[in-house]
Structure 1
Amino acid sequence: MKAAVLVMRTAYGLTLAAALAAGPARADGALPACKPLRLVVPFPAGGPADLLARALGHAMQERHGMAVLVDNKPGANGNIGMDAVRRAAGDGCTLAVVPAGNLTINPTLMPALPYQVARDYRPVALLAGSPNVLAVHPAVKARSVAELVQLARRAGPPLGFASPGVGSGLHLAGVLFAQKAGVTLLHVPYKGTTQALNDVVGGQVPILFGTLPTLAPFLQSGALRALAVTQARRSPAAPQIPSLAEQGITGVEVSSWYALMAPAGTPAPVVDALSREVRAVLALPSVREALQHQGMEPADEADGAPRALDARIRAETAAWAALIRKHGIQAE
């Protein structure tokens, strides 16, 4: 694992903040005059969504002189923070920095949610994504996906794979992989990534689907072995890890990505102005490099636009709904 991928999150926050500050200042009269701009993160501080929010907030403070407040509102699998943004004024001054699962998985997994994504929010910008990695404990006698598939087919009881919880994107990645590979795997859910990771590293569970930033130190130390990224092509953040597609498993495009969302009543010109600003920041070479050091890939210009983000949310919601219903997955 290249050292560039292995930058710790604490260092990443400082590096990315400095990179953002280095961007040239520019005025944009269409941006909302917020006092302050409030970026709601529906999870605790320290995670990827929180780091992205703080990086964006720092950039806007440096570039435009506006006050920015990062407001962590964890709880209920992110739904408390999402509901707070739903109820906020649609003036562009309250936005959500949110993982994909809250937009594309939870609406099917949790039908009693207080919000509907299409009705209650407006997509602003795709921020960044992180490839998911199929990894195994070093004792597993598989050094490729083909060897893992053969091992799974020969096994008596199904091989287990750990995830941070039922219905999480990493759980669904494992379900989709097993379906496409034609094997049976036993899902072993945990109440969070740390617990799942500890048991795989400890040898209690052989297989893990995890995000690259989380797994990178364990891959470097040899505590885990990466077999593939769960996408069609290799990730620039870890080009040495082959993709599932190049190893013969197609149709598994599962990454962890993060979006900026506004309340439904936010005017289109304000959404467009915010989107342009965010995409300009993410296009800075220094910012792209800092994100890639953390194992994240900044969104491209076209992919990050509101209309493209809306299309992605709708497509992935439909795909996950079909998988969830087919396998009878229910939230705990």
Structure 2
Amino acid sequence: MKNMLVHRRHCLHGLAAAALAAAGLPSAQAQDRITRIVVAFPPGGPVDFVARAIAEQLGKEIGHQVIVENKAGANGGIAAEYVSRSAPDAQTLWLTSVGAVAINPSLYEKLMYDPAKDLAPISLVVRNVEVLVVGANAPYNTGAEFVAAAKKSKQPLTLASSGTGSVPHLAMELLSDAAKTPLLHVPYKGAAPAITDVLAGHVDGFFGDIPGLLPFITSRKLKPIGIAASKRHPLLPEVKTFLEMGIPGVDSDNWYALFAAKGTPAGVADAMNQALRRTLANEGVKSRLMASGAEPAPSSPAELSALLARDSAKWSAVVRAKKIKPD
């Protein structure tokens, strides 16, 4: 009799929790949980910024606290491995840029993780298209003028990057192919020193994420001359895309997306996906991201999976064709 009462109590508790969840209200059990957004970079960077911009509101949407954990190192491998070995319940999420999931597998012979086998897609979060910038006093005002100058120059014009195999580097390779003219790659250890040398006039230009370059553009320290996307950016409406300038094929998006451990049930992944959609639709979150230059862009798990497959194929083709090897 006692066992029957205990069983009945557990059943009622489960039904009550399910009813609360169906009504969109967090149960006491849910409120005791913590969801972690793992970032593979130190605090203060652009991925960390996006994680912290969404964490509080995402916590409100799922009914319990969301915290950000920084696990830098091994080109994203430490964060990826940590998430892939976590419980498949979407309580541990990896917010990653495109490089760690779509470029690293073709760039490095050995990785600590396999994006396709070890991770479950949740949603695309933001898009960060690349913009080509030059010094404020540079003699070219558009990407077309830059290309024309490159073709006339006896020595290849130089483009800085945040590292060999990075999105800025590969964007430069796309431009070189599209313009049918050589450009000299100058790799740096991160975007900051690359930008510094563009400001000083030591290199001719730099492809970078709009959020990271926006302060230099608005202060007129750097001049934006071309958007590497299919459409113009809302914060830089006067800057044409390379496609508009008659230079097709220069399309580079350093998107950020959320992944969970492989084996996360579809229903759990979908619930987190819907919570993220509501988070990105929140006016405070949306305006904060947009003001930084990042464009909120939620997707379904299936859409993210398809995007990852397309970009993996795209970037691996560039890495192979150019015989790019990590430093």
Q: TM-score, normalised by structure 1?
A: 0.87
Please identify the structure whose Cα radius of gyration is greater.
2
In the alignment, what sits opposite 2:15? none
Q: Post-superposition shift, 1:181?
A: 1.2
Q: Secondary structure at the match of 2:306?
A: helix
Q: Post-superposition shift, 1:32?
A: 7.0
In the alignment, what sits opposite 1:15? none
Report if the CA contact (8 A) 2:93-2:259 is conserved.
yes
**Structure 1 residues 143 and 55, CA, compared in 2 at 3 Å: closer, same or farther?**
closer
Root mean square deviation, CA, Å: 1.8
Report if the CA contact (8 A) 1:237-1:297 is conserved.
no
Moved more, 40-49 or 187-196: 40-49
Report if the CA contact (8 A) 2:124-2:304 is conserved.
yes
Aligned-pair identity (%): 38
Alignment partner of 1:306 is 2:304: no
Deviations along 1:281-310, one digit per CA (max 9) or x if unpaired, are: 11234432221111010005xxx1100000
Q: Post-superposition shift, 1:48?
A: 2.1
Read off the aligned partner of 1:305 and give its amino acid letter: S
Q: Post-superposition shift, 1:278?
A: 0.3
Deviations along 1:235-263, one digit per CA (max 9) or x if unpaired, are: 12321221111111112220121000001
In the alignment, what sits opposite 1:17? none
In the alignment, what sits opposite 1:272? 270
Moved more, 167-176 or 288-297: 288-297
The separation in 1 between residues aligned to 2:286 and 2:312, in whole angstroms, is 28
Deviations along 1:59-112, one digit per CA (max 9) or x if unpaired, are: 133344412221100112222111111111112211101111111000100120
In the alignment, what sits opposite 1:42? 40
The separation in 2 between residues aligned to 1:57 and 1:138, in whole angstroms, is 37
Q: Secondary structure at the match of 2:226?
A: strand
**Structure 1 residues 26 and 55, CA, compared in 2 at 3 Å: closer, same or farther?**
farther
Read off the aligned partner of 2:130 and give its amino acid letter: N
Report if the CA contact (8 A) 1:38-1:93 is conserved.
yes
In the alignment, what sits opposite 2:132? 134
Which 4+ runs in 1 deviate beyond 6 A?
31-34
Read off the aligned partner of 2:318 and give its amino acid letter: L
In the alignment, what sits opposite 1:222? 220
The separation in 1 between residues aligned to 2:112 and 2:58, in whole angstroms, is 31
Report if the CA contact (8 A) 1:237-1:296 is conserved.
no
How do 1:1-332 residues align onto structure 2 when only pairs under 5 Å count? Answer: 26-27=24-25, 35-300=33-298, 304-332=299-327
The separation in 2 between residues aligned to 1:131 and 1:104, in whole angstroms, is 15
Q: Secondary structure at the match of 1:236?
A: coil
Q: Secondary structure at the match of 2:286?
A: helix
The separation in 2 between residues aligned to 1:256 and 1:46, in whole angstroms, is 18
Q: Secondary structure at the match of 1:228?
A: strand
Read off the aligned partner of 2:144 and give its amino acid letter: A
The separation in 1 between residues aligned to 2:24 and 2:48, in whole angstroms, is 25
In the alignment, what sits opposite 2:20? none
Report if the CA contact (8 A) 2:40-2:79 is conserved.
yes
Q: Secondary structure at the match of 2:277?
A: helix
In the alignment, what sits opposite 1:8? none
**Structure 1 residues 178 and 34, CA, compared in 2 at 3 Å: closer, same or farther?**
farther
Paired residues in the alignment total: 304
Deviations along 1:152-175, one digit per CA (max 9) or x if unpaired, are: 011111111000000001110011
In the alignment, what sits opposite 2:11? none
In the alignment, what sits opposite 1:16? none
Report if the CA contact (8 A) 2:130-2:228 is conserved.
yes
Structure 1: runs of 5+ lacking an equivalent: 1-24
The separation in 1 between residues aligned to 2:288 and 2:36, in whole angstroms, is 24
**Structure 1 residues 239 and 122, CA, compared in 2 at 3 Å: closer, same or farther?**
same
Read off the aligned partner of 1:306 and give its amino acid letter: P
Structure 2: runs of 5+ lacking an equivalent: 1-22
Deviations along 1:183-202, one digit per CA (max 9) or x if unpaired, are: 11000000011110101101
Q: Post-superposition shift, 1:33?
A: 7.0
